[in-house]
């Protein structure tokens, strides 16, 4: 069999390198490469050229990598900003809801209340209080004026919350018929009201035995 020249092999090497030559051509190239250092070196160089992109491709690859890096940083930055904004919004909403339902309190309207005098003795007056709309009462306060008027006040959040289990809030208070002013002076309680001085409803009066 006639020996294949290096020129023929050099023509076949690109196809051989890309793996697209026929089986017979591949066999001929491999047999030639076993005895030809020059063609082996040429094949090595071709493989390196196949693996390494040229200058323009390197620039494109670098540009793509840079763009990908910038994109990742931008996405991450906006994602963190979005998370921070979401957390702040949740905190504001949660804080606002807490303020409106717990901290900022208003008087429970008298029309939402029911009062009854349970017992009257020489020492005290026992009064039953009930909220009729099923909402929660957060606090209770009292005030005594110098003319012997006793004011009871129930408060709830600006946004009233349910009392739970659909039950109405109720309480029984025992009020001493002798009150103490801020000055320490003792005075007789003549009238008991629900509300404030400018917005109240009479519950009991000293000469009454019931509401």
Which pairs with CB-CB distance under 8 Å and at least 24 residues apart come from 30-34? 31/4, 32/4, 32/6, 33/9
Asked whether the predicted pLDDT for residue 88 surpasses 60, the reply is: yes
Distances (CA, A) of 128 to 8, 118, 158, 170, 203: 114, 6, 24, 7, 10
Residues forming beta bridges with residue 127, ordered by sequence position = 117, 173
Q: Please tell me the total number of residues recorded for the chain in this structure.
A: 211
pLDDT above 50 for 153? yes
Dihedral sign computed on CA atoms, order 81, 85, 88, 90: negative
Bigger pLDDT: 127 or 94? 127
Quick one: pLDDT at residue 145? 94
Comparing 51-65, 107-121, 123-137, 196-210, the range with the smallest average pLDDT is: 51-65
pLDDT band at 120 (very low <50, low <70, confident <90, very high): very high
Q: What pLDDT, on the 0 to 100 scale, is given for residue 211?
A: 42
Q: Which two tokens stand for residue 124?
A: 């005290």
Tokens of 36: 């030809």
Q: If residue 76 lies in a helix (H) or strand (E), which one and from where to where?
A: helix 55-98
How many CB atoms sit inside 10 A of residue 90's CB?
10
Flag the least confident range among 79-83, 111-115, 205-209. Answer: 205-209
Inter-helix orientation angle 23-35/6-18, to 10°: 120
Task: For residues 177-182, give the mean pLDDT.
Answer: 92
In this model, does residue 1 exceed pLDDT 80? no
3-state helix, strand, coil in the chain (%, to 5): 45, 30, 25
> pLDDT tier at 181 (50, 70, 90 boundaries)?
very high
Q: For the chain, which residues make up each domain, given as ranges?
A: 6-51, 62-103, 107-205
Rounded to whole angstroms, how far apart are CA atoms 142 and 139? 10
Across the range 51-68, mean pLDDT stands at 65
Helix (H) or strand (E) holding 14: helix 6-18
194 has a pLDDT exceeding 90: yes
Spatial distance between the Cα atoms of 166 and 145, rounded to a whole number of angstroms: 36
Rounded distance, CA 124 to CA 174, Å? 6
């Amino acid at each position: 069999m006639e020996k294949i020249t290096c020129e023929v092999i050099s023509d076949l090497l690109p196809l051989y390198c890309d793996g697209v030559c026929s089986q017979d051509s591949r066999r001929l190239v491999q047999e030639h490469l076993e005895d030809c250092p020059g063609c082996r070196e040429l094949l090595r160089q071709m493989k390196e050229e196949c693996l390494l992109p040229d200058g323009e491709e390197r620039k494109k690859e670098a540009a793509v990598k840079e763009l990908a890096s910038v994109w990742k940083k931008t996405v991450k930055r906006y994602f963190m900003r979005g998370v921070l904004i979401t957390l702040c919004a949740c905190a504001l909403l949660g804080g606002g809801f807490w303020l409106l339902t717990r901290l900022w309190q208003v008087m429970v309207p008298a029309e939402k209340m029911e009062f009854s005098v349970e017992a009257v003795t020489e020492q005290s007056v026992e009064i039953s209080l009930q909220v009729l709309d099923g909402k929660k009462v957060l606090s209770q306060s009292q005030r005594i004026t110098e003319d012997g008027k006793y004011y009871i006040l129930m408060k709830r959040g600006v946004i009233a919350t349910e009392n739970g289990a659909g039950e109405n809030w109720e309480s029984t208070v025992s009020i001493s018929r002798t009150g103490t002013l801020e000055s320490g002076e003792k005075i007789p309680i003549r009238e008991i009201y629900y509300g404030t001085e400018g917005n109240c409803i009479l519950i009991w009066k000293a000469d009454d035995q019931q509401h």
